[in-house]
Amino acid sequence: MHVSDKLFNKNCGVFNHYASYILNAKTPEEWRAVTERIDVKLIARQLYEMGAEYCFITLEYGTNFMLASNKTYDGIFNAKSGDSCTVRDVVNDLYEALSE
């Protein structure tokens, strides 16, 4: 079985764009604040209750704010840790919550 067959054979899932401009987070401080409030355990429970068999979440969507720490990305944009990329690794936190 090819790895893509695993996804093809799923019933339903969720795609999520966590975009700073929708949340009105325009500064690094505002971005950190909204990402620190993400309740990954709540999201995991809701996905379980709705029967979602997979979850996709974008790291970045339309801005230079990212949902995970990334030193290379920070270097490209000459940003200090926490300015463009979150200090918290939201994607990993969500993965761990979904794994439970």
Kindly state whether residue 8 falls inside one of the protein's structural domains: no
DSSP-H helix ranges across the chain:
3-8, 28-36, 40-50, 71-76, 90-99
Does residue 25 form part of some domain?
yes
Residue range(s) defining the domain that contains residue 66? 13-99
Q: Which two tokens stand for residue 74?
A: 């920070």
pLDDT in tens, 52-91: 999 999 888 888 888 888 889 888 888 888 888 888 899 9
2-28 confidence digits (pLDDT tens)? 878 887 888 889 998 888 888 888 898
Beta bridge partners of 66: 60, 85
Question: Is residue 63 included in any domain, yes or no?
Answer: yes
Q: Which residues pair with 14 in a beta bridge?
A: 55
DSSP secondary-structure letter at 15?
E
Residues in the chain: 100
